[in-house]
Amino acid sequence: MEGADALTRQLFDLGIPMAIATSSNYESVQKKKILHEDMFARMDLIVCGDDACLKNGKPAPDIYLLADLYFSCLKNVNI
């Protein structure tokens, strides 16, 4: 995750909003956050695979579309 950490740090410093759309369930994401707290803290939004509004998991684009919807509401922008 070294490259991901460096990339998210750079994007965060530039003020670029970021989101994670993962097929992992919420509980699993919470465990991953423990090991990568700084990187997860840079995210504006995290959408998990067990989100109640998610109809179809990957490889369907639904999780990305849902993240875009949530993100648009939070930041008034589309990703």
Q: 2 pLDDT band (50/70/90 cuts)?
A: confident
Would the pTM of this model clear 0.85, i.e. be above it?
no
User: 34-42 long-range contacts, Cβ below 8 Å, gap at least 24?
Assistant: 36/1, 36/5, 38/5, 38/9, 39/1, 39/4, 39/5, 39/8, 39/9, 42/8, 42/9, 42/11, 42/12, 42/18
pLDDT number for residue 79: 54
Is pLDDT above 60 for 4? yes
Tens digits of per-residue pLDDT, 27-77?
999 999 999 999 999 999 999 999 999 999 889 999 999 999 998 888 665
